[in-house]
Amino acid sequence: MSTQKTIACGRYVPTLLVTLFFAGCSDATRSVSQIEHPPVLQVVATSNDQTGVAGFPLGVPLQVQVLVDGVAKSGVAVKWSSTAGVVAPNSTVSDIAGFVTARWTLGTAVGAQTATAFVESTTGAVVQFRAVAVEQIRVEAVSESDGQHAAVGTTLSKPLRVLVTRNGVPVVGASVIWSAVSGSITASSRSDASGIASATWIMSTSAGSALAFADIPGSTNGMVRFTVIADPGPVTTLEAAISAIQITPINRPLTSPLVVRANDQYGNAIARAPVQWSVISGSAALSKVDSLTQINGLSYATAVTTGKEGSVVVQATLQARTVQFTLRFDPPEWLILLHTNSSQTQFSSVQNNSIPAVDTLSVGQTIIWRLAPFDYDLHVVEVGGTPPLYSFEFPYAEPSDVRFTFSTKGTFQYRDVYSRATGTVVVR
């Protein structure tokens, strides 16, 4: 048998009986529900014991949950009050999860303050929030000292400067802590009569964007960030960025363009430095020449043959600094690749990029066929008709080449027996 609440003649009567009859009532009494205890309020911990700026809202709204017998209760009116400042709204109804939320703007006095949430006419449905109001100390960058440029390894022309205020009034003697991601900076300084604190910053030897920070522990707006650009110094070296020696058959281009790099004394690349390219010996021409270094400090030039075999020297010059490249154009050589890793095995000409390969050469010159890449299939080049005039099996080697020198004029078809890829050689 349990305690219940029953309706008798329109009145709630607590009783230990499951069902009672009262004289003068025409109907039997009917059971309603178990008696509910009064609601209680539970503080959401993350909204309590905050620190905020006097006269400003706290960062996290105040929040309580209404519970009845340990279960969230909606529709309960919760009111708010505070010893300082304003809690708004001052009355709120709990939501479906039993939560009630309000925003507390602290009073203007510095120190401890309290706010209270309560349910009227209910004993025990009262909770208290605590907060500490602190002064509004702000650290702000003086704009003219931010965004500067300076050469690597040198001191900024203008010191970094911040303004320190307390509740809008400049602060004298405030200690500002300085730090920099790179370079060397004043460790700390104090604000003067105008609230200004400054620091001297020496750039590192690495070019690029650099960061520094000013901070007063407990300031309301946190660290102040400065960004400056450390520029490369003057040119001190010009160096080859690729091998200074290249050798190629006269009928094929060099394996790469000629490249130099301009650096300062710390090895930083220098952009827009004027570079002059020239052929100082041998027979060659220059094309696609960079007259100014790019953002990475590189300047490019492409050397092409004029049809004569032999050695060539190309020189790059920058402010009396020179780099020389030695090139050699050997007798012509025809290279044809048999591509074995594509969806369709095929011959391609390195000389003219034709697919299937078609090459024209003179009597007495040599063709080189090469597997690209090598595989373990039995590839055989057959030149001529059926039966073939010549037949060559690719060796098990890397590179896997076969060579043939044509001694008679004519047009010759060739094929790979394994893949049936074909190509053409015209001999004049």
Write the pLDDT tens digit of every residue in 116-167: 999 987 766 899 999 999 888 899 999 999 999 999 999 999 999 999 998 8
Where a domain ends, among 296, 311, 330? Answer: 330
Where a domain ends, among 197, 231, 265? Answer: 231
Where a domain ends, among 208, 231, 254? Answer: 231
| Same-domain status, 180 and 156 | yes
| Same-domain status, 150 and 193 | yes
Q: Kindly give, in sequence order, each residue whose CB lies less than 8 Å from that of residue 363, ignoring residues fewer than 6 positions away.
A: 406, 407, 408, 409, 427, 428
Query: Which CATH number goes with the domain that contains 315?
Result: 2.60.40.10
Which residues does the chain have with pLDDT short of 50?
1-33
| Same-domain status, 226 and 249 | no
Q: What is the pTM of this model?
A: 0.59
Query: Which CATH number goes with the domain that contains 361?
Result: 2.60.40.420
| Same-domain status, 263 and 279 | yes
pLDDT at residue 279, as a whole number? 97
Please name the residue that has the structure tokens 């590189």.
298
40: amino acid identity, one letter? V
Q: Find the domain containing 317 and state its range.
A: 237-330
| Same-domain status, 365 and 413 | yes
pLDDT at residue 21, as a whole number? 39
Q: H or E element: which one contains 377?
A: none
Q: H or E element: which one contains 356?
A: none
pLDDT at residue 36, as a whole number? 65
Structure tokens at 57: 């809202």
Q: Kindly give, in sequence order, each residue whose CB lies less than 8 Å from that of residue 31, ignoring residues fewer than 6 positions away.
A: 4, 6, 18, 19
| Same-domain status, 98 and 142 | no
| Same-domain status, 24 and 101 | no
| Same-domain status, 73 and 148 | no
| Same-domain status, 179 and 145 | yes
Distances from the Cα of 28 to the Cα of 9, 16, 31, 32, 135, angstroms:
10, 16, 10, 13, 68
| Same-domain status, 420 and 349 | yes
| Same-domain status, 270 and 299 | yes
Q: How many domains does the chain have?
A: 5
